[in-house]
Structure 1
Amino acid sequence: MAHYTVNGKLKQRSTKIPIAGGMVAGGMYKGVFIKKSAAKGKAQEVANEMEKVARGLTPVAIAIQNAGVDIRQELPSIRSFLEHHEEDVKGRLAVATYRNTKVAVQRLLDYLGDASDKPIDTLKIGTLREWVKTLARDYRSGTIRNYLASLSPAFEEAARSEILVRNPFDGVKPPPERPGDKLRRDPFSLDDIRKLIRELPPEWSSAVRCSYELGGQRLGDILALKWENVDFLRGIVTISTEKTGRHMVIPLKSSFRQWLESEHAARTPKPKDYLHPNLACRRSRNNALSTEFSTIVRLLGITDYEPRQHAGKRRNMSNKTFHSIRATVATLLHLHAVDPSIARAIVGHDSAAIHEVYVKPNLDQLLSNMERLDPLDLPTYHAAGN
């Protein structure tokens, strides 16, 4: 990379000279082979000519002739760089994470407008901070944090590769949370779970049952389950979680195993078939299933949550979602005094701190456990009267 200052501004351009040497462009129709030992020297020659052109000291045509390499190649535009990043992470990220990355890329490109066609070194921290301020009018702090987390790694890699001097996202932070930004996630009661299984449409009912019986696994992981993941001979289900890549081997409770065997016998599926084929197919096309589930829960009268109206485009979120099954399982394991390390292994939490967030006993559960405190056995106290 060539770095130089013109009119007080730092410029950076790729010399296109391979670090390890090799064939480089030597004009329109011929190439020049540069050995590794000579690559740095040739790169310096090209950089010197670039600086002369930038300062207006040498016409481009003469600079090309002097350097022996076409120096007119520029850095990629912000748009092409981000689109390349989006394509590069496709298939390597979880479905939801990749979808968030696509949205983040589009949000930034929309904000930049025509400026997105300028070289990536024109994207500055000040521009990004203004973008965050604009987003803050419409979106939650957590949503903006996800956008920054999706985009920053690409520019960090560019900085490590010396394509950029620094990552422009360094020092760009999401706004502080506002009242109503933090989402409530309440667990379902056991009666709620039973009602959902009884009254939901068949595949949703099955998904709820599978999540609960398999330790509160996430919706995406439940919908990714295929019959080949179920080993009736060994009595286990294997899951590779989308969010963390954690490989889990979950034993089948006897009653749940019997139910799965009856489902398998009734459907006679192939090993590659999904346990929930319709929902799995719909999930591959959109990300509205979580919202659909929460809507159904409200229609069944299970949540007492009243959605609040927010400014901008912040969505109204229910306090009971499919993810609440995870909190239900974590809470019940805690109340049944299951060893914390065993409970974390069942649910699939990597740390005690994360696990504790999901343990949310209700008032009745708190009272029943408070009753276990030894009584004081004091005489009844009567306030002195007048």
Structure 2
Amino acid sequence: MATIHRVSDSPYWHCFFYLPDGRRTHRSTGTRDKRKALPVCLKMAEASELAREARLTETRARETVADIYAIANREAMPSATVRAYLAGWLDRKRLEVTEGSAGEYERVAGELMDSLGEKADKPIDAVTVRDAATYRDKLAKRVTGATVNKALKIVRGAWSRALRDGLLHENVFARLDLVKASRTDRRAFTLDEVKRILAACGPEWRGLVLFGFYTGQRLGDIARLTWQNVDLSTQEIRLITRKTGRTMILPMPSPLMRYAITLPASDNPAAPLFPTAAGAAISTLSRQFAELLASIGLTCGQKVRPGTGTVSHDRRGKGRDSRRTTGGLSFHCLRHTTTSALKNAGVNNAVTMELIGHESEAVSRTYTHIEARALKNAVNRLPNLVPETALKRKA
């Protein structure tokens, strides 16, 4: 039978009861009030008896803890499922971070819930270190170490917030070690490689690559360009970057202007320049570009299926979910290519930073005021990849 007693070294009533193995023990009820201590004690004893009878399920254990909390605090114990908590956490993040970062957080949260399976609909404190490690290890089989570690840091942030909200007693993701991130340095494409890529492109991808080369902007920002972003009269592109939220006003060099005027214009200013790309996920576009590179031999460890133009994922028997090896080349390398081409053409560092939108050397940029004429002169030093004879408007 469970009883409550005072002990010499505690201000709280203690519950004396039998453990499932028959040993007598005592635990603090956490209250000085005898009237509250007794029902708490009885709940402890009840849980122990259920365990002795092998009937203490995870659900019953959580119900018992919730009952004890309610008795001690006169309010329900804070609780939320993983799915419900992450939904609220994402809502807060959308107010705090850029659109690009919010999209990445959504992707990471979705992958975590996929890994958890049915446990995604259980209380967030039901997630164990083993669950966290399983998520990390599954992810490490598909993506690079750097991507795994970035995802872990995002999830750690969510669990830290839940810990501060009183929903957890520990951050299980903080107990995990990061994975070894083998460094694959990105490099710039050579101009010959850019010409090979353009020659292999279909009409829309040709435009994406040309805009990538002549603006140095990220794939997601280029794919989402609409006609209201492009002012042919002033020869400028205006956009807000998804990753940093920075407003960019970019002069269009002559080759890009000649290409832009061949695109079928729309009466709707919100119409996308690249309709197919605008409706695709960035991951899909990145995969398509990797397949494009593979088709002309610019990626390592991948093989294009004959007659399909798509990359074979099972060349070494690892299946579709295995990590792809790209040899360090991706659409992002066009940013490196543009930066290198500008500097090789003698454009100074401050102008290059302004055109590409790099956020480093922020103090230097604060004291540097770059005229529009200098920006236009800079982009017109880029080499011409769009011969006038090759871009005659179709009748």
Coarse TM-score class (shorter-chain normalised): 0.5 to 0.7
Are residues 148 and 201 of structure 1, via their aligned partners in 2, closer, same or farther at CA, if it must alter by over 3 Å? same
Match of 1:366 in 2: none
In the alignment, the residues of structure 1 paired with residue 265 and residue 221 of structure 2 have an alpha-carbon distance, to the nearest angstrom, of 21
CA pair 51-134 structure 1, distance change in 2 beyond 3 A: farther
- Asked if the contact 1:145–1:173 (Cα under 8 Å) also holds between the matched residues in 2, the reply is no
The answer on whether the counterparts of 1:237 and 1:251 sit within 8 Å (CA) in structure 2 is yes
Classify 1:137/1:234 alpha carbon distance in 2 versus 1 (closer, same or farther; 3 Å): closer
Q: Which residue is 2:205 aligned to? A: 204
What is aligned with 2:22?
A: none
Query: Which residue of the partner structure matches residue 376 of structure 1?
Result: none
> Structure 1 residue aligned with 2:354, among 345, 353, 356?
345
Q: Could you say which residue in structure 2 is the equivalent of 1:299?
A: 295
What is the alpha-carbon distance in structure 2 between the residues aligned to residue 224 and residue 254 of structure 1? 22
1:119 to 120, 123, 148: 123
State the one-letter code of the partner of 2:289. Answer: F
CA drift at 1:201: 0.7
- Which residue is equivalent to 1:16? none
Contact residue 294 and residue 318 of structure 1 kept, 8 A: no
2:162 pairs with one of 143, 158, 164? 158
Shift of 1:297: 2.3
Tell me, in whole angstroms, the C-alpha distance in 2 between the residues paired with 1:194 and 1:80: 49
Q: How does 1:88-237 map to 2 (within 5 A)?
A: 97=101, 100-125=104-129, 128-129=132-133, 131-133=135-137, 135-136=139-140, 139-177=143-181, 181-214=182-215, 216-237=216-237
Asked if 1:325 is matched to 2:360, the reply is no
Q: Offset of 1:99 from its aligned partner?
A: 5.6
Taking a change above 3 Å as real, the CA distance of residues 63 and 111 of structure 1, as seen in their structure-2 partners, is closer
Q: Secondary structure at the match of 1:287?
A: helix
Q: Secondary structure at the match of 1:169?
A: helix
Kindly state the Cα deviation for residue 151 of structure 1 after the two structures are TM-superposed: 1.9
Correspondence 1:28-39 to 2 at 5 A: none
- Superposed CA deviations along residues 206-240 of structure 1, whole A, max 9, x for unmatched, are 111111111x1111110111110112333321121
CA shift in 2, pair 1:337/1:74, >3 Å? same
Structure 1 pair 198–51 and aligned structure 2 pair: CA distance change class (3 A): farther
Determine the C-alpha separation between the residues in 2 that align with 1:333 and 1:305.
28
Larger mean CA deviation between 190-199 and 306-315 belongs to: 306-315
Contact 1:309 1:316 in 2 (8 A): no
Residue equivalent to 2:307: none
2:273 pairs with 263, 272, 275, which one?
Answer: 275
* The 10-residue stretch of structure 1 (138-147 or 222-231) with the greater mean CA deviation from structure 2: 138-147
Distance in 2 between residues matched to 1:11 and 1:145, nearest whole Å = 41
Which residue number in structure 1 is paired with residue 252 of structure 2? 252
Report sequence identity in percent.
23
Q: CA deviation at 1:344?
A: 1.6
The TM-score with structure 1 as length reference comes to 0.64
1:274 positional shift:
0.7
Partners of 1:136 and 1:318 in 2: CA distance: 18
* 3-state SS of paired residue (1:175): coil
> Cα distance 1:169–1:212, how it changes in 2: closer, same or farther (>3 A)?
same
Equivalent pairs counted in the alignment come to 306
State the match for 1:27 in structure 2: none
CA shift for structure 1 position 129: 4.4
Q: Secondary structure in 2 aligned to 1:238? A: strand
Given that 1:221 and 1:242 are in contact with CA atoms closer than 8 Å, whether structure 2 keeps it comes out as yes
Partners of 1:127 and 1:291 in 2: CA distance: 29
Aligned counterparts of 2:136 and 2:334: Cα–Cα separation in 1? 33
Secondary structure of the residue aligned to 2:147 is helix
Q: Match for 2:284 among 288, 313, 316?
A: 288
Q: Which runs of 5+ in 2 are unaligned?
A: 1-13, 16-24, 47-63, 303-314, 363-395
The partner residue of 2:42 within 44, 56, 79 is 56
Letter aligned with residue 300 of structure 2: Y
Report the Cα distance in structure 1 between the residues aligned to 2:196 and 2:283, rounded to whole angstroms. 25
Q: Are residues 1:263 and 2:258 paired? A: no
Contact 1:241 1:247 in 2 (8 A): yes
Paired residue type of 1:254: S
Q: CA deviation at 1:282?
A: 2.8
Relative to structure 1, is the Cα distance of residues 141 and 56 closer, same or farther in structure 2, using a 3 angstrom cutoff? Answer: farther
- Distance in 2 of aligned mates of 1:64 and 1:141: 41
CA contact (8 A) 1:207 1:223 kept: yes
Q: Which residue of 1 aligns with 2:344?
A: 335
The corresponding residue for 2:81 is 77
Q: Please state how far the C-alpha of 1:140 moved relative to its aligned partner.
A: 3.1
